[in-house]
Amino acid sequence: MATLLKNLSNYDPNTVPEATDLKVGIVVSEWNTQITEALYKGAYETLIKHGVDAKNIYKRYVPGSFELTLGAQFFAEYSKVDTIIVLGCVIQGETRHFDFICQGVANGITDLNIKYNMPIIFGVLTTDNLQQALDRAGGKHGNKGDEAAVTAIKMASLHYNFQDYMNVEKEK
């Protein structure tokens, strides 16, 4: 969570597992493109920094943040990625539309994590105004894309560690 006390881009690189064989799907909302492309840049650069091969990073666009869930489902069903990152930005307006979109995407991504038993990372900014979004897309609070990429690597590693552990346990 971005606060005055935390920068989204600050983390200990030594806590990030090896990621050279990781395949990552990234779904990017076309709505608020200035923000979502900055989030993508942060995620992409962080994945590369931690050893993910550029040819194993797959980017697809969806029209808006609400469509991120279905875009992620397409990756889960039709590809061989190890983890999926969804990147979007919803800025509060004058109506309750903001609440419905944010709740729908959060619930949808949670449901996909459970349904597909794979890490699908919520990299969606939900801000009160454009400045807050800019501050969290490479501005003074860092980049939510960086945080989403680190989370994707850690959760994919955890997923494989559990699979390896459980396979060893089953053999005993």
The pLDDT assigned to 163 comes to 73
Residues facing residue 57 across a β-bridge: 24
Q: Which residue has the tokens 């050279």?
A: 20
The pLDDT assigned to 164 comes to 72
The pLDDT assigned to 2 comes to 44
What are the two backbone dihedrals, phi and then psi, of residue 114, each rounded to the nearest 5 degrees? Answer: -75, -45
Task: Give which of 123, 155, 165 is closest to 38, Cα–Cα.
Answer: 123
The pLDDT assigned to 101 comes to 94
The pLDDT assigned to 97 comes to 87
Catalytic residue among 50, 97, 141, 159: 97
Cα dist. 159→60, 106, 122, 149, 152 in Å?
Answer: 23, 21, 17, 15, 10
The SS3 call for residue 110 is: helix
Structure tokens at 119: 């890490």
Report whether CATH 3.30.1360.30 matches the domain 21-171.
no
Query: Which segments in the chain show pLDDT lower than 70?
Result: 1-4, 165-172
What is the distance of C-alpha 124 from the center of its chain?
8
Length of the chain: 172
The pLDDT assigned to 166 comes to 63
The pLDDT assigned to 3 comes to 55
Tens of pLDDT, residues 26-36: 999 999 999 99
List the chain domain ranges: 21-171
Question: pTM for the full model?
Answer: 0.93
Tens of pLDDT, residues 120-138: 999 999 999 999 999 999 9
The pLDDT assigned to 96 comes to 84
CB atoms within 10 A of CB 3: 8
Q: Does the annotation count 97 as an active-site position? A: yes
3-state SS of 129-142 is CHHHHHHCEEECCE
- Quick one: CA torsion of 100, 70, 50, 54, rounded to 10 degrees? -140
